[in-house]
Amino acid sequence: MNSLKKMLGVVWFLLGPAIIYLLVHSAIANIDLNGKSDINKPIPWLIIILVFTPIAIGLMIFGYYALKGEYDKLPEE
Amino acid sequence: MKQNELIPQSNIWKVISASSVGTLIEWYDFFIFGSLSTIIASKFFPSANPTAALLSTLATFAAGFIVRPFGALVFGRLGDLIGRKYTFLLTLVLMGGSTFLIGCVPSYATIGAWAPFLVLILRLLQGLALGGEYGGAATYVAEHAPANRRGFYTSWIQTTATLGLLLSLVVILSIRRLVGVEEFTKGDGWRYPFLLSILLVGVSIVIRLKMHESPLFAKLKSEGKVSKNPLKESFGNKANFKMVLLALFGITMGQGVIWYTGQFYAQSFILTKCNVEYEQANTIILISLVLATPFFIIFGSLSDKIGRKNIMLVGMLLGVLFYRPLFDKIYTTCAPAHKTEVVAERQFSEKRALVKGSTTDSLITYDTTKVYSDGSHYKITKKVTIMGVVGVTAPPAEIKKEMIISTTDYWTLVFLVGTMLLFVTMVYGPVAAFLVELFPTKIRYTSMSLPYHIGNGIFGGLVPFVATLITTVKGTDHLSGLWYPIGVAALSLVIGVLYVSNKTTTED
């Protein structure tokens, strides 16, 4: 189980930048100043990218910790 | 020292009621803005004005996504420094005051751009207060509860989000009936639910003022062991920070999307995708909420016996597996294409009138009502503007669809929404106890508030936005938006299964 946790740590680590890439890519594709929907407005995208960047970094740190075996044994167990 | 040595059992119910009533009112305050967002937009954020439209977008997105987690940090820190009681008293005053004032702000037509600006500020204050309230209430109750019954006692706090929505729906529907739809939507009737808040908050403040500080925090304080810098100790200390990340990605992220989809997306789906009549749609949600609410307590209590993780992850798994079939069943139950029309009973009318304020442009209203063999009625209203001046482009036709479903379909929808809410109670009932037990007393308020509000405010709050985003992709259908909550819940489920232990108890 612990080796699976470590291996998946790589996935979580890579998922962080992938999320940011996906968000920026979607923002570029959908922002349209003539559009009326929220997904066409720049402000929601700006806010979402702004709040998701630290979350994505958090996911990378989580992945790094998992890779290093920090979650192999939790303090409560 | 254990809590059950500190607290007489008779007092725990006073603690629970004082905390729950306040939290319920805070949720009520936060939800009435969301439920009345269409009316508020027409009063304060006219889409023709770009500044107002921008402020409207900020009110929608910033309140949930930025201010709620920020509130969690600000008030979490305060709660770990000065105590739980005064902090969640402060959030209650802030929430109640902001809500009352939203009901007092003159409309855009009266004071111009000040109106959307003031409403934006007040909405942000609401978000800030909500960010601070929940962690305080959950911590306060948990620190009074015996360790082996934390799941049961904190689950009362967990009912408040649902009961807050229920209360907001009851108040809105009652006032709408009392003053009439016209006065409610076009006059000042919509203001009453906001103004009522001051009474509710007043009562709650009086109750909370009589309560004492949490015994565990009071003990820490008397021993001089209160954290000097809760933010640093929560997020700068590796041992604690890794638990914050685990709580977020392994539980609250998935719990947030399951909660939002079952409780709010279902309501919006029934109203906008199925076009079910307003009162029918809302009473379906209302009855389902009433039926589901006891299960928060049942699953909270069960988590004391079989562990928090198992119940929450099963709730996520059920959401992952059944959200699409359940939403599909809701859609097909209401869809006219799946019903047999009684053609002889079809009614059609056409009405012509001048456009309000114009002497040349006409407005033609076509009303078609279809009756189906099961007793459902489907009303389609199409409004077409014919311009009197040649060469001037007419605005696009307005089409409004409204389905009044049969009694059988109505109860089918209650069952389907109730089933989804059951998943919500599984993921949400034990989560407060889970979060409280993950962190030590001295930084508990700060540490648990942030993952909770990121999970619910950001991951949960993004459901409608991402659902719309997904439907822009070619080949998608009315159910494609569900891939977001399903995907996030599935990810959280995998992380939860692998990394979260089934019962984590932090004795202080």
CATH number of the B1-226 domain: 1.20.1250.20
Question: Is the Cβ pair A38, B60 closer than 8 Å?
Answer: yes
* Higher pLDDT, residue A36 or B208: B208
By C-alpha distance, which of B43, B64, B331, B71 is closest to B188?
A: B43
Q: What pLDDT band is residue B59 in, cutting at 50, 70 and 90?
A: confident
The pLDDT value recorded for residue B473 is: 80
Token digits for B307? Answer: 């562990």
The residue ranges of every structural domain in chain B are: 1-226, 230-335+406-508, 343-404
Q: Mean pLDDT, to the nearest integer, of A23-33?
A: 89
The pLDDT value recorded for residue B10 is: 66
Q: How far apart are CA B417 and CA B411, in angstroms?
A: 10
Per CB-CB distance under 8 Å, the chain B contacts of A48 are: 61, 65, 462, 465
Listing DSSP states for B312-381 in one string gives HHHHHHHHHHHHHHHHHHHHHHH-GGGS-B-GGG-EEEEEEEEPTT-SS-EEEEEEEEEEBTTS-EEEEE
The C-alpha torsion from B107 through B108 and B110 to B112, rounded to 10°, is 140
* Higher pLDDT, residue B197 or B46: B197
The answer to whether residue A26 scores a pLDDT higher than 70 is: yes
* Higher pLDDT, residue B31 or A62: A62
Mean pLDDT check: name the lowest of A8-17, A28-37, B295-304.
A28-37
Residue B452 at interface with chain A, using a CB cutoff of 8 Å: no
* Helices marked H in A31-73: 42-67
Equal CATH topology for B1-226 and B230-335+406-508: yes
Backbone CA torsion sign across B42, B48, B52, B58: positive
Q: Mean pLDDT, to the nearest integer, of B53-68?
A: 76
Which amino acid type is present at position B409? D
The pLDDT value recorded for residue B360 is: 84
Point out which residues pair with B404 in neighbouring strands: B377
For residue B381, give how far its alpha carbon lies from the nearest alpha carbon of chain A (Å): 22
Per CB-CB distance under 8 Å, the chain A contacts of B468 are: 37-39
Q: Mean pLDDT, to the nearest integer, of B174-184?
A: 93
Q: Mean pLDDT, to the nearest integer, of B485-507?
A: 84
Name residues whose C-beta falls within 8 Å of residue B325's C-beta, 6 or more positions apart in sequence. none
Looking up tokens 């989809």 gives B261
Question: Is the Cβ pair A52, B499 closer than 8 Å?
Answer: no
Calculate the average pLDDT of chain B: 89
* Higher pLDDT, residue B2 or B98: B98
Residue of A nearest to B246 (CA): A62
pLDDT in tens, A56-73: 999 999 999 999 999 987
Q: What pLDDT band is residue B365 in, cutting at 50, 70 and 90?
A: very high
Backbone angles phi, psi at B382, to 5 degrees: -120, 125
Backbone CA torsion sign across B202, B203, B206, B212: negative
Q: How far apart are CA B504 and CA B501, in angstroms?
A: 7
Element (H, E) at B398: strand B398-404
The answer to whether residue B268 scores a pLDDT higher than 70 is: yes
Question: Is the Cβ pair A76, B58 closer than 8 Å?
Answer: no
Total-model pTM: 0.89
For residue A21, give how far its alpha carbon lies from the nearest alpha carbon of chain B (Å): 15
The C-alpha torsion from B422 through B423 and B426 to B428, rounded to 10°, is -100
The pLDDT value recorded for residue B420 is: 97
Backbone angles phi, psi at B505, to 5 degrees: -120, 125
Q: How far apart are CA B17 and CA B166, in angstroms?
A: 17
What ipTM does this complex have? Answer: 0.92
Q: How far apart are CA B266 and CA B352, in angstroms?
A: 37
Q: How far apart are CA B459 and CA B65, in angstroms?
A: 9
* Higher pLDDT, residue B374 or B66: B374
pLDDT in tens, B376-429: 999 999 999 888 887 788 888 889 999 999 999 999 999 999 999 999 999 999
Residues B265, B326: contact at Cβ < 8 Å?
no
DSSP state of B276: B
Q: What pLDDT band is residue A75 in, cutting at 50, 70 and 90?
A: low
Rg of chain B over CA atoms, in angstroms?
Answer: 24
Q: What pLDDT band is residue B1 in, cutting at 50, 70 and 90?
A: very low
The answer to whether residue B71 scores a pLDDT higher than 70 is: yes
Chain A residues contacting B via beta carbons under 8 Å: 1, 4-5, 8, 12, 26, 30, 36-39, 41, 43-44, 47-48, 50-52, 55, 58-59, 61-62, 65-66, 70-71, 74-77
pLDDT in tens, B117-128: 899 999 999 999
The answer to whether residue B6 scores a pLDDT higher than 60 is: no
Backbone CA torsion sign across B225, B230, B236, B237: positive
**3-state secondary structure string across B124-166:** HHHHHHHHHHHHHHHHHHHCCCCHHHHHHHHHHHHHHHHHHHH
The pLDDT value recorded for residue B9 is: 66
Token digits for B171? Answer: 């108040």
* Higher pLDDT, residue B48 or A51: A51
Q: Mean pLDDT, to the nearest integer, of B503-508?
A: 49
Question: Is the Cβ pair A48, B69 closer than 8 Å?
Answer: no
Residues B131, B461: contact at Cβ < 8 Å?
no
Q: Does domain B230-335+406-508 have CATH number 3.30.1490.190?
A: no
Looking up tokens 């494609």 gives B480
Q: How far apart are CA B452 and CA B41, in angstroms?
A: 29
Residues B417, B287: contact at Cβ < 8 Å?
no
pLDDT in tens, B81-90: 999 888 988 9
By C-alpha distance, which of B74, B125, B65 is closest to B454?
A: B65
Q: What pLDDT band is residue B494 in, cutting at 50, 70 and 90?
A: very high
Backbone angles phi, psi at B339, to 5 degrees: -120, 160
First to last CA, chain B: 7
Query: Rounded to an integer, what is the distance from CA B198 to the centroid of its chain?
Result: 20
The answer to whether residue A5 scores a pLDDT higher than 70 is: yes
The answer to whether residue B141 scores a pLDDT higher than 80 is: yes
Instruction: Please name the residues between 302 and 341 in chain B that touch chain A, using a CB distance below 8 Å.
Output: none
